[in-house]
Structure 1
Amino acid sequence: MKYKEGFKRFHVLTLISVASFILIFFLGYFFYNTLSNNLLGSSRQFLGKQVEIASNEVQRRFNTLYEDLTYYTTSLEGNSRIMPGENFKMQSSRTRQLLNSYGALVDTLYVKVDDEMWAYYLRDNNYFERVNVDPQRSFSDPNRLIVVKSHKESITVMASVNLLGFMNYYTSNHYLGKGGYKFYFRGNDVIPLGETEKATGVSLSSNTKSEIKNEYLGGLRGVYEGTIVKKNSAGEEQELKAIVAQYPFNLFPLEGKYAIVFAQDQSIIISKLYNTYFLLFAGLFALLILVIYLLIRHGISIDDKHVELEKKSRQINRLFDQQTMLLQETNGFVYYHDSSGKVSHVSDNVSNVLGFSVEEFLANNKSQIVEKDLKRLQEKAQNAIGNREDYLGFEVSFIKKDGTIIRTKNFERLFYNEEGSFVNSVGICTDITEKYLAERELIKSENRLRAVLNSLPDIIFIYNNQGVYLDYYVQENSMLVDPPEDSLGKQIKDIIPSPYGEKMENALYRASRSGKVQTEQMTLDLPSGKKFLEIRFFKLDDERMISVGRDVTEQRLWEKGLKEAKEVAEGANRAKSEFLASMSHEIRTPMNGLLGMIGLLEYTTLDDEQESIVKVIKDSGESLLSIIKDILDYSKIEEGKLELELSSSKFREELSKVINIFSGMVVGKGLTLNLDISPAIPQWLIMDNEKLSQILFNIIGNAVKFTPKGGEVSIKVSGEPILDKNFMLYFIVKDTGVGIPQSKIDKLINPFTQTGRGIAEEKSGSGLGLAIANKLIELMGGSLQIESEVGKGSEFSFTIFARISDSDEIVGQDEYEKYASEEHKLSNIADQYPMSILLAEDNDINLKFMKLLMKQLGYTVDTVSTGEEAVRAVRVKKYDMVFMDYQMPVMDGLEASREIKKMKQGKDVRIIGLSANVFKEDIDKAFEAGMDDYLTKPIKIQDVVMKIKESSGMNV
């Protein structure tokens, strides 16, 4: 009774101790988690603010450099010939001051005046040096150059910047502490800074790089839970969780986007908290252990004697209980043999295993064993006793009382007297029926697998891990070099001819080491012909490997045929693209004359009605040109060469031009055309106006064409600002036309597809319009949706992205409004900008148009029809400007431009290329050949005027 009371007290103390442990652990966890989260949150704010300050400092300093370079260039005007004397001293002082101010950023300052160039250095000892350099010098990394050109004189100032040193200098002031790392992004590159640059093996993980890149290229700042990859002293890479903050910025005028990245190892951030917290927790835990220990010791000392007595008693009982539990768990029983071999005793568990009572089992135990197992058991027992073996193990099948048969595993300990005679034995019988049946099923499964392998058409071999043949399953010997039975016991390289033998053996070793499937191919010249075989090696188990070989001759031949067909198709596609480009060139040439003459007609004296007619003709001609572009644009889309050409324009005026094109069709069919533009849309937007017009022309044109007389077409335009100056435009074009069947809506955006709606005369068209419009919408960042119901009309909706234009960003087509003002009338252009002009053009129509245009502008131009004549003309006479056709007989415009730029008097000549070729590669070739600018046909009058102004030295 006293023991029970003592045990009860001990049990209560144990429960209290466990509850105390759990409570302390939970309180400690929540307290630690709260502190660590607060510390990490503060670190995120700190890193985000530090990287923002550093990025703003870098961008502000770089902008200041560009402004100072611009001022420095302006200061050179009027003193372009830097001669010894006061001018040289004054200029050197300015240059030294500039280099001193930007020593961490500017490596070298280059000043080019006409055909001379000087380089200025500031050495480590503050020694200022000026060196003459080759004016034709090329720079290994043009992306590191800031170039500023004078507007009035031929002066160019170039500053070679050291971006890495610059970034290091301005980020070194931001101390991140231990575990802090600094990087900066430039395009797709990540460059370590400061101590991070010196610490080898430190980088951002690929996932963190990708996440930062996606956001900073879009102009978004961010703070992330990222990872840092760091090599330890053994050269092994380990990933560390870190807080990573980035802030994007631009370095005008350098191209590309940049971002500074600060990272802090999370483990170091919370290490101090961990150390402090761990000491506090350990102290409380030790105190708790001491109190519990004293309580337990007090309880144990009271009942020590009672516990000891009870303990011995319970150990005895537990021993018997454990034996019974063991037999119950293993579903077995214990039995004893006497010297005659008869079972003399058996445990009560026999009834649970066989269903017999103890008495029934002792009386008939031999009859309960299956006869064939009994005979085998008796022979085995006699041999064991005859050999004086101490142990006997066997398996037999027992017939239970209910008639079912079970499998048992028996183990007996045999005892002998001093003379060596058998005395008795004790044994344990365990039911293993489930295991026995499972093993039998496994054998059957292996036999079935062997049958399947024997029936497979593949060539199957089994090896050991050293590549020695152990077994095979081969249906057709004609696919083998030698009969399969000859390979057993040999190495792979002894059977398969070189070099494939070594190749296959290496594949087997790789599969054995890595545990992954290894695939190799080989070609064999067999009596049945040349065969291509694909061999796969993989593990069968820890000691064996297997290979499966398959004849892939037909597949290889099919792949070869498919490759040849693909090459033929690609050749046909290239031929089609070349044809489309050639046709575009041939059509653009007469269109240049047509639209050019219309442009000249605009500047003649016309009444209001004539001006309206000329405007419609001009807009229709330009729309016709855009239709012609459809074919070329689709060719560009197929090749992935289509690019956006952004310019600033008045959005509502551009939209009105597109609407006016359909005025004749709308009036002729008696349609109602409604236009609703949201007042939230800014007046000036930056986008590719030409491609937007092309999209609207196709979609609105379809709506007008397929709407019957008296119907209605409505156009609704709305929008909203998105992130800084980005603006999303939303267009809805709805008509009351015949509608489109639902089954054909998805096919509308496929090329050369028509829905067959409307009357016969309304089915004309190439079927490219919506396909191109859909691609252009995707190029401009949006998507096209089509909803329609037969008999009720259709609704086309799409979104595109633009940018809100500042007043000083108004460029491109809007410049024409300046030329239309009084001070820029065409009649006085030559008076304001006098120059000598040469025109090289072989097409009579274009030649006539350009001569009329130049005459109206007030210029008397010299004309030639070949590139050779253009080169001779420049040798004889000094020209300020040459309009050079791209394609001419004898010598084309590219070769002529190269020859002119080689001449001393040709270096100052500004060459403007004229061509119907609009591919980017053609334009790039023109600039590489020495052309200073490029105009695509049809040529607009205002574009010619703008190029004349630019050539005169004005900054427009």
Structure 2
Amino acid sequence: MERAQDGMDGSGIETAYQEERRRRLAAERTLDHVRRELAQAHSALVANSDRLSRRYLSEREENLRLSERQQGVLAQRREAAKRADRARRRLWHALEAMRDGFAVFDASGRLVAANHVYLGLFDGASGLGPGVHAQEIFAGAAEEGAFDIGDASPEAWAHAQVARWHAEIVPPQILHHYDGRILRFQDRRAPDGDVVSLVLDVTEDRTREAALIDARDAAERTARIKADFLARMSHEIRTPMNGILGMTRMLIDEGPGGEAGLLARTIHDSADALLTIVNDTLDVSRLNADRLTLREAPFDLERLLGDCLRLAGAGARPGVAVALDCPIGLPGTVRGDAGRVRQIVMNLLGNAAKFTQVGSIVLRVARVDADPTQFAITVEDTGPGIADSDRDAVFEAFGQGDLSEDTMREGTGLGLTISRGLAERMGGTLTLQPDTGSGAIFTLVLPLPSQTAGLGPDDFPRRLALSPGGGVQADLIGRQLAAAGIAVTSDVAGAAHVLLPMALPETAQRQVLAKMTPGARLVALGPGGDAAAEVMERAGAILPPPFAWADLVSAFGAERQAGAEPDDRPRILLADDNATNRLLLDRMLKDTPYQVELAAGGAEAIAAARRARPDVAVLDISMPDVDGFEVAAALQELPGPAVPILALTAHVGAEMTTRLRNAGFAAHLTKPLCKDALLEAVAAALSPASPDSVP
């Protein structure tokens, strides 16, 4: 039993040992597993710790960088704020230093800010400051009498001031301050609705403006008084000069010889020079007073220039040739003030004739290439010329340039001043070309719109002969014909149309006749007195240059025919209270195809017209008993067709022209009266196409 017990005990111990050992091994395995898990966890923890450390370091570095930028931005903002504050202070100081008032109101009309000048304007207003409504500010100032509000109530006036701000463009407002200042409120609305108000003190400007207006009005009154005085003096001077010029002209025409003829011509030339001075002075006065009016109407430019040159030729020195250089193809008529164009051209030609001792004076006309409605009229002479240093002086009043001692000084020096003023008044220019050392060249450029077409090359013979040696005018005629495409030859043999200048000696004229083909058409160029007897018999026409191209076409188209005097001559009634003028008018119409009846006054003229109705009446306007206007009214009441009435007066000016036109006068003749002007006016009045108005 003991051994059994011992055996059982030993087996049990071994089993317990084995069990213990198994548990220990299991524990070791568990421990080893836990150790491995702990090692893995430790490794993961270490890795995670490394990641967190790196992330922290990265974020810390980024935070440091962001902090530096933020600090820079904050520093920039602080510096910008300082600069903005300095700018605001400077701006406000500038606004405070302004002499003008400045204020800003918000969109609702309440004051935001204002400088001391603006606030000072409303010094009497109570409670003035930021936040106060504009209407309260203006109403308070009105109640305190700060501004002149007229008859309006303070509330209504203040409402009107603020109501201006609602306009799309705020109109300026002029207010009168109680201290005498004149203030201009200039308001503008900003895009955000605020209103910026600027107040300017315009007292000095208004005072200066008023002074300038007063000075201008005084100058205009003075100019009007001067113009009226000159017009009256012109009338008083023209009336006796009419008799002097007319009677001396007739005395000269009677042909007294010797010393009597010399004295008569001297009297006439002196009176004519005095009349030029009167006319020039009156024109300068009108230009200065801006009272010169233009009377535009269609006229023949070519014939006007020819007439001017014809008159200038009479005043040229012996041996000085005058010529017209006019192209074929000019308009038949142009529109403009023919009288003023004539005046300018005659002034230029008169100067040329005055200073040209030898050589020629050429009047040229041509279209301006850049503008066909404008024409360039040039006067070219071979006188002493004008130095470039005197170019401006010649156009000044009373200026004549630096002339040599042997050059005669005549006139007032107003001619070119008036001519340039007239040219500019008509929209043109008058210039003096640079000194070429061979005379003076004046160029007048004027807008003269074409009214009717002129002649063309087809109106002329395709071929004609022009005898050489005819002088400047004949050479210009040949040149213009050739420029128009017409064949011009110097060989008269075989030519169907021949131009023969009368400047050739009579022997040379006869030689041309001997070479001509029988039946050829001969036109003599020049005065009939210079033609040989054989030429007078042979010529189909005699044309004294300058002539119009239409005259040459007509001369080639028909033989000359002597006009027959009409059997029933038109009757002219002349009324003038001045006996000298009546005698002058009677002598002017002597040997003309008119019957003349003289009346010594208005009443006598009316009685004569009622006895026998006149075809034309020429009435002096300033007759003492019944003036020309009353006579005209009586003539207009006569039965039958209206009687054309011509006014004869020494009065000049737009006022008189308008009055005559309204009274029904057909034309206006100015004293001193020229015979050609009288005959032209009478012929125009008798023409069926005569306009029924004063030109």
Tell me if both proteins adopt one fold, taking TM over 0.5 as the criterion: yes
Structure 1 residue 354 corresponds to structure 2 residue 68: yes
CA–CA distance in structure 1, aligned partners of residues 388 and 372 of structure 2: 40
From 547, 551, 554, the equivalent of 2:204 is: 554
Q: Letter of the aligned partner of 2:669 in structure 1?
A: L
Q: Letter of the aligned partner of 2:430 in structure 1?
A: L
Shift of 1:774: 1.8
After the TM superposition, which residues 378-397 of structure 1 pair with which residues of structure 2 at under 5 Å, given as runs?
Answer: none
Structure 1 residue 861 corresponds to structure 2 residue 565: no
More strand by share: 1
Tell me what 1:847 maps to. Answer: 582
Shift of 1:842: 1.9
CA–CA distance in structure 1, aligned partners of residues 98 and 615 of structure 2: 84
Change (3 A) 1:793 1:484: farther
CA–CA distance in structure 2, aligned partners of residues 682 and 471 of structure 1: 74
Change (3 A) 1:521 1:899: same
Structure 1 residue 494 corresponds to structure 2 residue 136: no
CA contact (8 A) 1:740 1:757 kept: no
CA contact (8 A) 2:312 2:353 kept: no
Structure 1 residue 537 corresponds to structure 2 residue 182: no
C-alpha distance after superposition, 1:189-238 (max 9, x if no partner): xxxxxxxxxxxxxxxxxxxxxxxxxxxxxxxxxxxxxxxxxxxxxxxxxx
Tell me what 1:451 maps to. Answer: 93
Shift of 1:851: 3.0
Structure 1 residue 832 corresponds to structure 2 residue 568: yes
Tell me what 2:522 maps to. Answer: none
> If you compute each CA radius of gyration, which structure gives the higher value, 1 or 2?
2
Tell me what 1:522 maps to. Answer: 175
CA–CA distance in structure 2, aligned partners of residues 893 and 881 of structure 1: 14
SS at match of 1:766: coil
After the TM superposition, which residues 611-622 of structure 1 pair with which residues of structure 2 at under 5 Å, given as runs?
Answer: none
C-alpha distance after superposition, 1:343-401 (max 9, x if no partner): 9934648548739xxxxxxxxxxxxxxxxxxxxxxxxxxxxxxxxxxxxxxxxx73xxx
Structure 1 residue 471 corresponds to structure 2 residue 117: no
Change (3 A) 1:780 1:509: closer
Change (3 A) 1:448 1:478: closer
After the TM superposition, which residues 164-183 of structure 1 pair with which residues of structure 2 at under 5 Å, given as runs?
Answer: none
Tell me what 1:913 maps to. Answer: 647
Change (3 A) 1:727 1:496: closer
CA–CA distance in structure 2, aligned partners of residues 688 and 613 of structure 1: 37
CA contact (8 A) 2:374 2:445 kept: no
Shift of 1:454: 1.4
In the alignment of these two chains, the number of paired residues is 517
Shift of 1:453: 1.2
Structure 1 residue 698 corresponds to structure 2 residue 344: no
Shift of 1:448: 0.6
- Higher RCO (CA-CA < 8 Å; seq separation 6+): 2
CA contact (8 A) 1:714 1:734 kept: yes
Change (3 A) 1:654 1:862: closer
CA–CA distance in structure 1, aligned partners of residues 77 and 610 of structure 2: 104
Change (3 A) 1:636 1:677: same
CA–CA distance in structure 2, aligned partners of residues 619 and 582 of structure 1: 24
SS at match of 2:104: strand
Percent identity of equivalent pairs = 23
SS at match of 1:861: strand
Tell me what 2:299 maps to. Answer: 647
Structure 1 residue 345 corresponds to structure 2 residue 345: no
CA contact (8 A) 1:738 1:757 kept: no
After the TM superposition, which residues 774-853 of structure 1 pair with which residues of structure 2 at under 5 Å, given as runs?
Answer: 774-778=420-424, 782-788=428-434, 794-800=440-446, 803=450, 806=454, 831-835=567-571, 837-853=572-588
Structure 1 residue 660 corresponds to structure 2 residue 313: yes
From 472, 479, 482, the equivalent of 2:124 is: 482
CA contact (8 A) 2:294 2:337 kept: no
From 417, 429, 440, the equivalent of 2:82 is: 440
SS at match of 2:384: coil
CA–CA distance in structure 1, aligned partners of residues 309 and 267 of structure 2: 15
Q: Letter of the aligned partner of 1:936 in structure 2?
A: T
CA contact (8 A) 1:839 1:884 kept: yes
Tell me what 1:885 maps to. Answer: 620
CA contact (8 A) 1:626 1:694 kept: no
CA contact (8 A) 1:780 1:800 kept: yes
Q: Letter of the aligned partner of 1:643 in structure 2?
A: R
From 735, 757, 769, the equivalent of 2:415 is: 769
Q: Letter of the aligned partner of 1:466 in structure 2?
A: S
Shift of 1:545: 1.8
CA contact (8 A) 1:654 1:689 kept: no
Shift of 1:772: 1.9
CA–CA distance in structure 1, aligned partners of residues 569 and 236 of structure 2: 33
Shift of 1:459: 2.6
C-alpha distance after superposition, 1:274-332 (max 9, x if no partner): xxxxxxxxxxxxxxxxxxxxxxxxxxxxxxxxxxxxxxxxxxxxxxxxxxxxxxxxxxx
- In structure 2, stretches of 5+ residues that fail to align are 1-52, 143-148, 457-546, 555-559, 691-695
CA contact (8 A) 1:658 1:693 kept: no
SS at match of 2:366: strand
Shift of 1:569: 0.7
Tell me what 2:378 maps to. Answer: 731
Tell me what 1:195 maps to. Answer: none
Tell me what 2:490 maps to. Answer: none
After the TM superposition, which residues 98-113 of structure 1 pair with which residues of structure 2 at under 5 Å, given as runs?
Answer: none
Q: Letter of the aligned partner of 1:841 in structure 2?
A: D
Shift of 1:633: 3.0
Shift of 1:446: 1.1
C-alpha distance after superposition, 1:390-445 (max 9, x if no partner): xxxxxxx73xxxxxxx234xxxxxxxxxxxxxxxxxxxxxxxx5555334322221
Q: TM-score, normalised by structure 2?
A: 0.61
CA–CA distance in structure 1, aligned partners of residues 615 and 350 of structure 2: 45
Q: Letter of the aligned partner of 1:717 in structure 2?
A: R
CA–CA distance in structure 2, aligned partners of residues 481 and 569 of structure 1: 43
CA contact (8 A) 2:139 2:157 kept: no
From 630, 633, 655, the equivalent of 2:283 is: 633
SS at match of 2:184: strand
Shift of 1:582: 2.1
Q: Letter of the aligned partner of 2:633 in structure 1?
A: R
SS at match of 1:345: helix
C-alpha distance after superposition, 1:51-106 (max 9, x if no partner): xxxxxxxxxxxxxxxxxxxxxxxxxxxxxxxxxxxxxxxxxxxxxxxxxxxxxxxx
Q: TM-score, normalised by structure 1?
A: 0.46
Shift of 1:474: 1.6
CA contact (8 A) 2:574 2:596 kept: no
CA–CA distance in structure 2, aligned partners of residues 936 and 691 of structure 1: 15
CA–CA distance in structure 2, aligned partners of residues 796 and 834 of structure 1: 44
Change (3 A) 1:793 1:932: closer
CA contact (8 A) 1:467 1:505 kept: no
Shift of 1:893: 1.4
In terms of mean alpha carbon deviation, does 623-632 or 717-726 score higher?
717-726
Shift of 1:868: 4.4
After the TM superposition, which residues 37-76 of structure 1 pair with which residues of structure 2 at under 5 Å, given as runs?
Answer: none
- In structure 1, stretches of 5+ residues that fail to align are 1-335, 356-396, 399-405, 409-432
Change (3 A) 1:912 1:796: closer
CA contact (8 A) 2:616 2:686 kept: no
Change (3 A) 1:435 1:899: farther
Tell me what 1:717 maps to. Answer: 364
C-alpha distance after superposition, 1:524-574 (max 9, x if no partner): 334xxx332221112356243232223333332332222222111110011
CA contact (8 A) 1:676 1:715 kept: yes
Shift of 1:458: 2.1
Tell me what 1:13 maps to. Answer: none
Structure 1 residue 407 corresponds to structure 2 residue 55: no
CA–CA distance in structure 2, aligned partners of residues 611 and 685 of structure 1: 41
SS at match of 1:639: coil
